[in-house]
Amino acid sequence: MDVVSVELGERSYDVCIGEQLLGQLALYRDVTFGHKALIVTNHCVAKWYLAPVEKAVASAGFEVDVFTLPDGERHKTLATVESIWTYLLEQKHSRDTTLIALGGGVIGDMVGFAAALYQRGVNFIQVPTTLLAQVDSSVGGKTGVNHPLGKNMIGAFYQPQRVIIDTGVLATLPQREIGAGLAEIIKYGLIWDADFYRGLTAKLSSLRDFTPDIAGWAIKRSCEIKAAVVAQDEREGGMRAILNLGHTFGHALEAQLGFGTWLHGEAVALGMLMAIALSVDLGYLKFELFEDYRALIARLGLPTSYPLSVSPEALYQSMWLDKKVAASQLRLILLKQLGAAFISADASQAQIMSVLSRFQA
């Protein structure tokens, strides 16, 4: 087992990475308090992974309840989170309970948000079961829900007690989910570690090349980079925003296509292509990186354009519903060079619209 520490003083925690960790009793026992725990999952995840987690937590001496949510991004709402709070109250969970998020990013974000607000904050553990959640949303303490006008616009920073990443779950994921997760992994190379990016491009000629040994290496390095960024800027006052490369474009795509039509990682993959194109247009990058990245995501089956049913004008308006907007300025994450991201408000509306129009199918 590899362990990556997220250093946040009293709120520090470990990210545990390895095979067959779901049922490891010790990983739950020392971070589960009180006498009750609630596992929140969805129907799809439950049939694969609920049994070993429930057994491990019960064996650690806790009374375990299970609450099963519907699957899908469209259910990432305040109403769904309220249903978690209602269940906690009905089952008489007090403020020493522990919530366990067993699922992908949608489950993790909602359970973390529910934990942040229930009785003003209770303990929770992230057990991510998608590649994207393992390398992104489960680490760093961002929790929340979507609003019809924008993604993740309602939420809180709230850190888990532990993140348990079982790489064995990847064997049961569809290839589309693997591709979406790889988009976020590639992001870490683009924004932080040029050698990591080059290593990924050399190893991944297709999704079939994402073997267990490459997965372990890529997940660990991704978590190390995210932990380093979060330790320096927990609440995204500045530097942490670089983790959002392509996300302003990507979130707008998700909103305009309809939440759940594209996976988050698919939208981010195209969003990063747009951000790289804008970086080239502004003179920060050479065109070669754009070509290299576009070829990489195409090999992995990720989108390089969006459908004609979405207008560039609508995308541009959606981009303003972004948490990085400040002082009436649309701030974007761009690249100065491979491995070096920065926050920029330099792009004009005409330059952004040019990029948006260029990638319409």
Q: Which residues are catalytic?
A: 120, 142, 184, 226, 236, 240, 244, 247, 251, 264
What's the start-to-end Cα distance of the chain, in Å?
44
SS3 96: coil
Bridge partner residues of 16 (DSSP): 3, 164
Alpha-carbon distance of 206 to 179, in angstroms, equals 10
Tokens encoding 177: 């989910």
- Nearest-10 Cα torsion for 90, 91, 94, 97: -130
Distances from the Cα of 319 to the Cα of 149, 227, 251, angstroms: 10, 27, 8
Provide Rg for the chain, Cα atoms: 20
Alpha-carbon distance of 329 to 345, in angstroms, equals 6
The two counts, helices (H) then strands (E), for the chain are: 14, 11
| Residue 99: HSE in the Cβ half-sphere, 13 Å Cα cutoff | 35
- Nearest-10 Cα torsion for 296, 298, 304, 306: -150
Q: Pick from 74, 38, 26, 27: which is nearest to 262 by CA? A: 74
Distances from the Cα of 71 to the Cα of 76, 80, 145, 165, 359, angstroms: 9, 11, 14, 20, 30
Tokens encoding 134: 């393992």
